[in-house]
Chain A
C-alpha cells in the first residue's frame, strides 16, 4: 500500500472517530443534565410543593411561584399571539419581497436571539418606571410587566413560524379564492390562517416553551413575591425566579426545592416541545 493512500485512510478513520466522539460528547452532556434534573427533582417532589407558598421557606412549597408562572406566561402568550400572528401574516401575505417587509423579517430573526435580560430592562423602563411614578410608588413591579417582557421574547418566535407556515400554503388556494371575488382580508383570515392553523399553533407552543424557562427578563419586571398573588398589578413570583433565588441560598433544603422547581419546568418544556412536534408531524402527513 502506498504511503499517501495509507495516510489518507488514517486521516479519514481518525476524522470519523472524532466526529462520532463529538456526537457522543453532546449526547453525554444531554444525558448528564437530564439525569441530574430527574434524580434531584424527583427526590425532592412532595405534595407540599403544590399546596404551600414560598413564604414558609424551607418547610414551604412553590404554589405561589407556579400560579405566578402560569399567570405571567398566560399574559405573555395572550399579548404575543395576536400581534405575532398578524405581523407574520403581513410579512407573508402583504409585504413579501418589499423592502420594509424584508427588513422586518430580517430584524425579527435578530430579535429571536437578542439578549433577554436587555428586554427585561426595556420593559422595566417603559412599564415599571412609569407605573411607579403614576401611582406614587404603590404599584412598582408587577406580574403584568413580567408578562409584557415575556411577550417580547415570544413575539419573534410566533412571527417567524406564522410567516413560514403561511408561505407553505399553496398559492392555488389564494388564486381560487381571489377569482371568486373574495376580498384579500377575508381570504387571509378565513382561508389562509385556517389552512396554516396547526403550524401557527406549533409556533405558539414553541414560544410558550421558550418563555416558560426565561428568568432574566422577570427579575426586574415581575420581581417576585413570597405570597400568593393573583392580581397582575402586584409583584408576582415565578418558578424560574424562585429557582434562581433558592439556588443561591446556602441551605440544602432550599436547593432541594430549587431542583423540584427545575424538574417541573423541564418536564413542562419537554412536554410542550413533544406536543408541538406531534402536531407538526401529523399535519405533514395530512398534507401529503
Chain B
C-alpha cells in the first residue's frame, strides 16, 4: 500500500526524535548530577567535620575558641594554640612572599629581556608543581638545620631578649615586642618562623603567577602613554599597573593565604609540634593542620572530636579567604569584559 509506505519514514522520524529527546534529558541529568558532586563535596566536607566536632563544640562551647589548653591527660581542649600557629605562620609567609612575588611579577612583565621571560616564568611555575611533602623534607633536613646554625644565633643575639652572652641589644631593649619575638632557649631550628619561611617559598609561585597574569591584562596604551610622558619603569609598575590590577592582586594574595592556611605537610615537618603558646617566633608551635596530622590516628573520644572541630574551623576560614580571593579576581575579569 503506497499510503502506508509513505507514512513509514515519518513514523521512524518521530520515534527517533522521541528517543533523542529522552537521551537528551538523561544526558542532561547525568551531567548536572556530576556537577552537583562538586557542590556536595564542599558541603559534605563542612558537614562531616561539623558533625565530627559536635561533641567538642557541645562540651566546650565558645570556650573552645578562647582556651589555650590542649591536655589529653585531663581531656580538655582549646583551639588557641593551633589557631595562633596557623595564623602566625601564614602571616609570616605572606610578609615574605608578597614583596618577592611582586618583584618577580614586575621583573617578568617589565624588566626582563623578552627571551628570558618564558624560561624564568616556567622555572618559577615548576616550583609550584613540587609536592608539598618535598618542601617539608627540605625544610626538615636542609633548611631548619641551616637556620639553626647560621640565622638563629644572629637573631637571638642581636634581637632577642635571651642572648647567649646575656647582653641585651639595643633593639631588644628599646623596640617593643622585638625581644620577646626573637628570644629563645630552644636550640633547634623547627619553629614558627621557619615554618613561615618554608610556606613563603611554597606560595611565592602561586602569588607571582597570578600577579604576572593580571599585569599582562593592563592595556598597552595605558603603559605606553605613561612611558611617553616620561615615567620610569618603576613608576609605570607602581602608579599605572598596580592600581589598574589592584583587586586581582589582592585576590592573588588571598589565594596564597588560602593555600598557606590549609597546608599540612610543609608545615608539620618544621613546626616542632609543641602544644603550648609561646610569644617567640623562634620557639616551636603547632598549626591546625599539623595538629590533625600528628594526633588524629591515635586520638579517641573527645580528642578526636576536638580535632574534627579544628578541621571545621580551618575549612570555614579558608573558605572565606578563598571566597574573597575569587571575588577579587573576578572583578578584573569583569573589567576586561570576559
Interface string of B68-106 (1 = CB under 8 A from A): 000000000000000000000000000000011111101
Within 8 A of A (CB), among B101-148: 101-104, 106-108, 110-112, 120, 123-124, 126-127, 129-138, 140-142
A273 at the interface (CB under 8 A from B): yes
Q: Which of A45-53, A171-179, A206-214 contacts B (4 or more CB under 8 A)?
A: A206-214
CB-based contact A213/B134 at 8 Å: yes
CB-based contact B45/A214 at 8 Å: no
Interface hub of A34, A114, A125, A269 (most chain B Cβ within 10 A): A114
CB-based contact A15/B234 at 8 Å: yes
CB-based contact A122/B48 at 8 Å: yes
CB-based contact A87/B45 at 8 Å: no
Q: In the complex the two chains form, what is the Cα distance from A232 to B9 in whole Å?
A: 52
Which residues from chain A contact B265 at a C-beta distance below 8 Å? 215-216, 240, 244
CB-based contact B35/A104 at 8 Å: yes
CB-based contact B48/A121 at 8 Å: yes
Q: Which of A18-26, A59-67, A131-139, A194-202 contacts B (4 or more CB under 8 A)?
A: A18-26
Which residues from chain B contact A93 at a C-beta distance below 8 Å? 31
Residue count of chain A within 8 Å CB distance of chain B:
85
**A213 contact from B133, B297, B308, B314, Cβ within 8 A:** B133
| Given the contacts A12-B233, A121-B49, A247-B137, A22 and B37 also touching, CB distance less than 8 Å | no
CB-based contact B38/A111 at 8 Å: yes
Within 8 A of A (CB), among B23-63: 23-24, 27-28, 30-32, 34-39, 41-42, 44-45, 48-49, 51-52
Main secondary structure of the interface of B (DSSP, over half): helix
Q: In the complex the two chains form, what is the Cα distance from A86 to B36 in whole Å?
A: 11
| Given the contacts A12-B234, A22-B102, A270-B129, A119 and B137 also touching, CB distance less than 8 Å | no
CB-based contact B104/A23 at 8 Å: yes
B188 at the interface (CB under 8 A from A): no
Which residues from chain A contact B237 at a C-beta distance below 8 Å? 15
CB-based contact A259/B137 at 8 Å: yes
Residue count of chain B within 8 Å CB distance of chain A:
87
A192 at the interface (CB under 8 A from B): no
CB-based contact A87/B35 at 8 Å: yes
CB-based contact B318/A156 at 8 Å: no
Name the distance in Å between A107's Cβ and chain B's nearest Cβ.
Answer: 6
CB-based contact B38/A155 at 8 Å: yes
Which residues from chain A contact B314 at a C-beta distance below 8 Å? 115, 117-118
CB-based contact A11/B142 at 8 Å: no
CB-based contact A94/B31 at 8 Å: yes
Which residues from chain A contact B124 at a C-beta distance below 8 Å? 23, 26-27, 30
A89 at the interface (CB under 8 A from B): yes
B64 at the interface (CB under 8 A from A): no
A275 at the interface (CB under 8 A from B): no
CB-based contact A33/B234 at 8 Å: no
B271 at the interface (CB under 8 A from A): no
Q: In the complex the two chains form, what is the Cα distance from A16 to B112 in whole Å?
A: 10
**B34 contact from A90, A110, A248, A259, Cβ within 8 A:** A90
Q: In the complex the two chains form, what is the Cα distance from A233 to B64 in whole Å?
A: 37
Q: In the complex the two chains form, what is the Cα distance from A88 to B110 in whole Å?
A: 35
Name the distance in Å between A281's Cβ and chain B's nearest Cβ.
Answer: 11
| Given the contacts A8-B235, A15-B237, A216 and B293 also touching, CB distance less than 8 Å | yes
B262 at the interface (CB under 8 A from A): yes
**A240 contact from B133, B238, B292, B296, Cβ within 8 A:** B133
Interface hub of B38, B42, B233, B322 (most chain A Cβ within 10 A): B38
B residues within 8 Å of A by Cβ? Answer: 20, 23-24, 27-28, 30-32, 34-39, 41-42, 44-45, 48-49, 51-52, 99-104, 106-108, 110-112, 120, 123-124, 126-127, 129-138, 140-142, 201, 204-205, 208, 232-235, 237-238, 255, 258-259, 261-265, 268-269, 289, 292-293, 296-297, 308, 311, 314-315, 318-319, 322-323, 326, 330
